[in-house]
Structure 1
Amino acid sequence: MVLPLTLACWDYDRVKALEDGRVRPEGIALTFLNYRVEETFFRQLRFQEFDVSELSLSSYVLTLNQDNPPFIALPIFPSRFFRHQSMYINTNAGIKKPADLKGKRIGIPEYQMTAAVWQRGIMAEEFGVPITEVHFVTGAIEPSVNERKSKVPHSLPPGVKVESIKPGQNLSQMLEDGEIDAIFSASKPSSVDRCSHCTYLFEDFKTAEADYYKRTKIFPIMHVIAIKRAIYDANPWIARTLQKAFAKSLDMAKEALEERSALRYMLPFLEDHMRETKRIMGEEGWRDGFHENKHVIEKFLQYSYDQGLAAGLYKAEDLFAPNTLEQFVL
């Protein structure tokens, strides 16, 4: 008997083999639904439309605050991103270093979004800028983008100042006009490309991110793969089976990056980029699995708790299906 399951996920290179059928999880008839992440998150968190889906790590952790959490995650991380490069400033605000953000107004699309949790945590831990010493302003980055509404209820800790932008405003223009001093986001504000006084907080963000990884061995996790808990409870075997299938797909994506007989990607200096990435992060810089990423998850959970999001300081083990915690060999 084959179990039909829907999987909503963006078509990253590391899941392409699942999307096109080169990898088929045993005993599962998988229907891959290629949606951009915001659509997937909204539909799954509000309406639980999919059997399995990509989810924001922060939003998933917030679901654990509920009496009956609707999802259970797998230690599969389709989206990871160093976030130093996603912090932007108006240089007219007198910001020359991260510590200068104290007392400033910082735009963020949504308080609970994963990128912002990492960014606030790094600012507090590494640069002495606690969340109580800045003023957050939430809203759409661009005029063409709808304001993000929190899909999972959460509270704010005492002393944290958060206000919403007014109708018709957007954070990118507010940064250019000096109405806010900085933006922490996932996407780059258009004002950074058109305005000389809007730029990166870390001008040489590549060096900052490489140094961060060398010191911490943290490659920030943005998204997880999660199963509807009722489906997992009825079919616990699917967690391990999906984990194996995602691992095969990831390996196939890595093999494609190593191909040199012809350029598969429109990156003429890919060879040099691959060599540099391996020098900084080792052969397995991008890897799934619980034990390999436990320290990353623990750091995020500490930040989430410190920022008033997680109801308690969860253990990394609390997030994942129990039968996916042990290592396995394909």
Structure 2
Amino acid sequence: MTIPWTVALRDYEHTRPLKDGTVVAEGVDLEFVEVEPIHRAFAPMVREGGYDVCELAIATLFQAIEAGRPVVALPVVLHGNFHHRSISIWNGEGRLSPEDLAGRRLGVRAHSQTTGLWVRGMLADTYGLRSQDVTWVTTEGPHVASADEPVNVERTDRKLVDLLTAGELSAVVMGARSADHVPGLEPLLPDWKARQDQYHQEHGWVPINHLAVVRRELAEAHPDGVRAVYRALQQSIDAARPEVPTGTTREMVIQYGVTDSLLATLETAIRYAREQEIIRTDLSAEKIFADFEKYVGEP
């Protein structure tokens, strides 16, 4: 009897067919572990290989690759979004603009959080506000324990929204769905929808937040099994696609395969990670999938 492979994936429309058994990974027994919120699975995965297959944020993946952690990225995008709506101020806060934030204190759950990476990159590219121009107040450290944080990162044990309402922060980085549940939070960018539409027109892709990864030991010892999981993830994504595309962000960002679009998105994210001192060594999008190409390859 084979030992089941443990799998930590959030419950999305495109993972549900795999999780409910509609799609099967041939020859592999999968045991799904529910982790909510899913970011709580990231540290166990990169620190001690806590799962065989896991959803993982790309900023954590970059740090894991830099630290030599034994994870292999699969070219399967599980989550992504635009992030022009992901930075908020309190009740208008005198209608601060991005240019007003230099020298101020901003909150984010962790400096290496991928949403924060995309927000900071957007602020730098569009408004000239570098990550180093502000102080980042965080409630968590990096998932990769050995990763160093920049000198302009502080830790707090208080809630970021409480600090914001007390006037001790000027803005907080928070996913739009979470921000919408906090009365009084308003987008820093009142024209965020137009900004994200413009971003998509200029780049042609939606920012990626999470990929699927597996333990390297599995890729080395059981490449056929990992290939079956990869194929099943593809089928699960395809099963969730509407017959007639509706143009939603989820439809645009959820994808599989090493495509030019995926590599271009990751190259931008890597540039942001270097600029923000999330990683400090050279990394390329091709290197991210080098072990996948070596051990697994396209089915």
Please give the per-residue CA displacement for 1:141-184, whole angstroms capped at 9, x wherever unaligned.
xxxxxxx3322122234xx512222x4x2110111121110011
Q: Write the distance in 2 (CA, Å) between the matches of 1:113 and 1:282.
A: 20
1:287 to 247, 255, 273: 255
- SS of the residue corresponding to residue 290 of structure 1 reads coil
Aligned position for 1:162: 153
Mark the CA change 1:314 to 1:187 in structure 2 (over 3 Å): closer, same or farther. same
Q: Could you tell me which amino acid in structure 2 is paired with residue 132 of structure 1?
A: Q
Q: Which residue identity is paired with 1:290?
A: V
Cα separation, partners in 2 of 1:29 and 1:299, compared to 1, 3 Å:
same
> Corresponding residue for 2:167?
178
Measured after TM superposition, the shift of residue 116 of structure 1 is: 0.7
Within a 5 Å distance, the mapping from 1:1-330 to structure 2 comes to 4-36=4-36, 37-66=38-67, 68-90=68-90, 93-139=93-139, 148-152=140-144, 153-157=146-150, 160-165=151-156, 167=157, 169-186=158-175, 193-195=182-184, 198-255=185-242, 275=246, 277=247, 285-291=253-259, 292-320=261-289, 321-322=292-293
Q: What residue identity is the alignment partner of 1:154?
A: A
Superposed displacement of residue 227, structure 1: 0.7
The question of whether the paired residues in 1 share the 8 Å contact of 2:241 and 2:251 is answered with no
Tell whether the 8 Å contact from 1:9 to 1:53 is kept in structure 2 after alignment: yes
Q: TM-score, normalised by structure 1?
A: 0.80
Query: Structure 2-normalised TM-score?
Result: 0.88
Cα distance change on mapping 1:57 and 1:154 into 2, 3 Å: same
1:241-280 deviation digits (Å, cap 9, x = unpaired): 222211111111113x75xxxxxxxxxxxxxxx64x26xx
- Paired residues in the alignment total 294
Separation (CA, whole Å) in 2 of partners of 1:285 and 1:164 = 32
> What's the C-alpha RMSD, in Å, of the aligned pairs?
2.7
SS at match of 1:202: coil
For 1:325 and 1:217, locate their aligned partners in 2 and report how far apart those are by CA, in whole Å. 28
CA–CA separation in structure 2 for the residues paired with 1:318 and 1:100: 38
- Identify unmatched segments of 5+ residues in structure 2: none
Quote the Cα distance in structure 2 between the aligned partners of 1:250 and 1:324: 22
CA–CA distance in structure 1, aligned partners of residues 267 and 198 of structure 2: 20
Q: Does the aligned pair in 2 maintain the 1:107–1:182 contact within 8 Å?
A: yes
Displacement of 1:192:
7.3
Q: Distance in 2 between matches of 1:100 and 1:109?
A: 22
Q: Which has the larger radius of gyration?
A: 1
In the TM superposition, what is the alpha-carbon distance from 1:53 to its structure 2 partner?
0.8
What is the DSSP-based 3-state SS (H/G/I as helix, E as strand, rest coil) of the residue aligned with 1:309?
coil
CA 132–82 in structure 1, closer or farther in 2 if over 3 Å, else same: same
Return the letter of the residue paired with 1:204.
Answer: D
- Find the residue that maps to 1:251 and give its secondary structure: helix
Bigger mean CA deviation after superposition, 2-11 or 305-314: 2-11
Shift of 1:95: 4.4
Counterpart of 2:293, as a letter, is: P
Q: What is the distance in 1 between the residues matched to 2:218 and 2:251?
A: 35
Q: Aligned partners of 1:117 and 1:35: how far apart in 2?
A: 23
